[in-house]
A and B are shown apart, each in its own frame.
Chain A
Amino acid sequence: MTFRRDLALMWGGGGVLAPLGFFLGATMLVPLAMGPERALLQSAGPPLVWIAAALAVLATLERLFQADLEDGSLEQTLLSRAPLEALVLAKGLALWCAVGLPLALAGAPAAIALQAPVERIGVIVVSLGLGMAAFIGVGLVGAAVTAGVKRGGVLIALIVLPFFAPPIIFGSAVAAGEQVGAALAILTGCALAALALGPIAAAAALRLQAE
């Protein structure tokens, strides 16, 4: 129910296109800025895809709970039959479907533009999907902690970016073709841990925000 509603709100509000446009724009500009040298793009490309993806997700977090706090929806959520943690998780899953999945799929053209080998595109998309889940799980906490802060985008970045580091490190390893199996396993662990713990911490922060 919360999942369907939030997914519809994210799609309907056009919130999907901005991060997708940012991600594709940023990654497509890299070859233009660095020139066509294949070896240079191949070495610099994977980290740049991951940094662009992380920043694109970051841009969606500021209003994630802030709007609910301002319009009174959060109070109603607190009076629901369902645990707040489950509702927060549903919101995170909706964000993954609305933003994370499209960004992961957009990783394919971005990786091609950055000279990634074609046979590695599939695993890059999968790793981005896992990385998006990890980013969103952590991002839920940052968004909840800063829900009551006007222009809290910078504060969210300060809170969540250190936790974005492991997925970026292991995601870049996948994109570079280094220890792919192990890196994917660690990414999966990051995603599961973030989605398991993030909603619990975010729900606790939201209860404080509601005061």
Chain B
Amino acid sequence: MSAARPFQDKPALRVDGLSIARGGRVLFENMSFAASAGEFVELRGANGAGKTSLLRALAGFLKPRAGRIEFDGEDEPALALHFIGHTNGLKPNVSARAHITYWAGLFGAPPGWDIPLQSVGLAGMSERLTRTLSQGQARRLALTRLLVAPRKIWLLDEPAAALDDAGRAMVGDLIAAHCKQGGVVVAAVHEPLGPAPSQTLTVGS
């Protein structure tokens, strides 16, 4: 096979009997699923159903009420995943290039990494301060985190929020390319992103 698959083909993400409560309200109970290398898991559900809480629990930010989350059989998620939440993680008076350089150090970019602005449609904007970017451009910049340092699991919370049609297609292409390389994508979405999901989970029903 010619396509490079840098990640191993063993079960990447396993969730067993997960229950999450927020503010004293149980969002969902006893959720179980598993995703293997190359899978795109789409999360669906109404507003407030718990999609974001599930993603935050998978990222290790939110302690579940019960249940177990494993990454390649390990409990420690931090080095295995990227998380793109509702907020973009940008500082207003910092340039796009400086953000990407910082993320490269933070996430451990491999030697020879390049600033991937072209991949997200921001070519020529490396010196722009992020306060001068539109909402959609800021979202595109946040998505470069996925490309700076390879990590097997991407957790995306409405990744195409604020993006135009071309941006939505770009997100779909990024997901498809990552899955093709053996990565795993779990994304909360309200509209289809393009690539057909391997599985669709409805949260909170």
Q: B-contacting residues of A (Cβ < 8 Å)?
A: 1-2, 5, 8-9, 12-13, 67, 70-73, 75-82, 210-211
Contact = CB atoms under 8 A, between A and B. Distances in A.
Interface in B46-65: 56, 59-63
The B interface is mostly helix, strand or loop, or mixed, namely: loop
B140 interface: no
Contacts of A70: 87
Interface of B: 56, 59-63, 78-79, 81-83, 85-91, 93-94, 98, 102-103, 105-108, 145
Contact of A76 (B94, B98, B103): B103
Nearest to A1: B105
A9 B83 contact: no
Given A9-B94, A12-B93, A13-B93, A78 B61 contact: yes
A76 B63 contact: no
The A interface is mostly helix, strand or loop, or mixed, namely: helix
Contacts of B106: 1-2, 76-77, 79-82
A75 B94 contact: no
Contact of A80 (B81, B86, B91, B107): B107
B78 A79 contact: yes
A1 B93 CA distance: 17
A211 B63 contact: yes
Given A9-B91, A9-B94, A79 B107 contact: yes
Nearest to A77: B106
A71 B88 contact: yes
A93 B86 CA distance: 30
B87 A71 contact: yes
Given A78-B60, A211-B63, A71 B91 contact: yes
Given A81-B108, A211-B63, A75 B89 contact: yes
B51 to A, nearest CB: 16
A174 B79 CA distance: 47
Contacts of A76: 83, 89, 103, 106, 145
A80 B78 contact: yes
Given A72-B87, A75-B61, A79-B81, 8 more contacts: A1-B102, A72-B86, A75-B87, A76-B89, A78-B61, A79-B106, A80-B78, A211-B61
A159 B79 CA distance: 34
B89 A71 contact: yes
